[in-house]
């Protein structure tokens, strides 16, 4: 079985530190264990452990198109990895995988829309600039359609809350048509209105981070957007290669896997 694909781990450098012998550490361990236990039951769960000032809030969200086993494997991996390296003593952290995300914080984040941090993965196979603007409008229109559908799946009683996927043929250009496979998903702690806001933020993020990419997916803390195209002409690029972009605060980090180059671009 393939391992979950790690995208990025964010530690809030402005958050408080905790000692490894503190009640917060004990509560965090209990919370992460609880998320692991719940990961086989569904695509989402949130947990709050402890009393102030050592309360810990946490959650996981799995992509709606993966199996229960893959969801559980991803959450178990994420809950073990999130507290390593620079996150060892930080009270606020979030980890993104292609298949899931896990986060914890000493401050409640439930029901809030957040624009970052975000992490995106996109193909280096791209289509020409002349296609990008009309495609971007088509993608935006498609997501708007899916936003309406997500409202009907907002209940936790749904098998996969706030998850919609659409695949169809697009006849946008005279020379050719193409297939657009689009997936959107929100964290169930949002209400339908804030889910809509989050997905529109994701569309904006895709347009900035992944211009011309044939395949792209973007995670922000409360929602997820992925698209895949087939049938559009592509520019020359290393076939099958992907890059990962992440943003924390005012800095974008670009990791180009094909060339093993790490570049920092100030905003």
Structural domain total, the chain: 2
pLDDT of residue 212: 79
What's the per-residue H, E or C state across the chain? CCCCCEEEEEECCCCCECCCCCHHHHHHHHHHHHHHHHCCCCCEEEEEECCCCCCEEEEEEECCCCCHHHHHHHHHHHHHHCCCHHHCCECEEEEEECCEEEEEECCCCCCCCCCCCEEEEEECCECCHHHHHHHHHHHHHHHHHHHHHHHHHCCCCCCCCCEEEEEEEECCCCCCCEEEEEEEEECCCCCHHHHHHHHHHHHHHHHHHCCCECEEEEEECCEEEEEEEECCCCCCCCCCCEEEEEEECCEEEEEECCCCEEEEEEC
Q: What is the pLDDT of residue 153?
A: 75
- pLDDT by 10s per residue, the chain, length 267: 468 999 999 988 778 899 999 999 999 999 999 999 999 999 999 999 999 999 999 999 999 999 999 999 999 999 999 998 878 899 999 999 999 999 999 999 999 998 888 898 888 877 777 777 788 888 889 988 998 888 777 665 567 889 999 998 888 776 778 889 999 999 999 999 999 999 989 988 888 888 778 889 999 999 999 999 887 777 655 555 666 666 544 333 444 333 222 222 222
168 and 78 fall within a common domain: no
Kindly state whether residues 145 and 232 are assigned to the same domain: yes
83 and 172 belong to one structural domain: no
Domain shared by 133 and 101, yes or no: no
Residue 110 resides in a domain = no
- Which pTM does this prediction carry? 0.86
Q: Is the same domain home to 101 and 130?
A: no
Answer with the one of 70, 105, 140 that is the final residue of a domain: 105
Task: Clarify whether residues 164 and 98 are in a common domain.
Answer: no
CATH number of the domain within which 194 lies: 3.30.430.20
Looking at the fold, whether 79 and 192 belong to one and the same domain comes out as no
- In a shared domain, residues 88 and 160: no
| Domain assignment of residue 215, given as a range | 118-247
Look at residue 251 in the predicted model and tell me its pLDDT. 39
pLDDT in the model for residue 233? 73
């Amino acid at each position: 079985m393939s391992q979950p694909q790690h995208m990025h781990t964010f530690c809030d450098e402005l958050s408080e530190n905790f000692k490894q012998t503190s009640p917060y550490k004990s509560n965090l361990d209990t919370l992460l264990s609880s998320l692991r236990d719940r990961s086989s039951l569904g695509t989402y769960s949130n947990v709050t452990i402890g009393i102030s000032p050592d309360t810990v809030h946490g959650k996981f969200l799995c992509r709606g198109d993966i199996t229960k086993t893959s969801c559980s494997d991803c959450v178990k991996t994420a809950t073990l990895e999130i507290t390593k390296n620079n996150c060892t003593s930080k009270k606020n952290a979030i980890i993104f995988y292609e298949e899931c995300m896990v986060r914890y914080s000493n401050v409640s984040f439930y029901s809030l829309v957040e624009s970052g941090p975000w992490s995106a993965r996109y193909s280096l196979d791209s289509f020409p600039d002349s296609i990008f603007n009309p495609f971007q409008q088509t993608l935006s229109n498609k997501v708007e359609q899916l936003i309406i559908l997500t409202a009907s799946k907002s209940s936790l009683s749904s098998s996969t809350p706030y998850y919609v996927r659409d695949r169809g043929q697009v006849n946008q250009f005279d020379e050719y048509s193409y297939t657009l496979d689009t997936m959107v998903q929100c964290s169930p702690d949002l209400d339908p209105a804030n889910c809509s806001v989050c997905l529109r933020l994701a569309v904006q993020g895709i347009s900035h981070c992944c211009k011309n990419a044939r395949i792209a997916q973007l995670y922000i803390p409360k929602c997820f957007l992925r698209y895949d195209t087939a049938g559009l002409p592509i520019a020359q690029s290393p076939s099958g290669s992907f890059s990962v972009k992440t943003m924390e605060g005012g800095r974008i980090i670009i990791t180009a896997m094909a060339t093993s180059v790490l570049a920092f671009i100030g905003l």
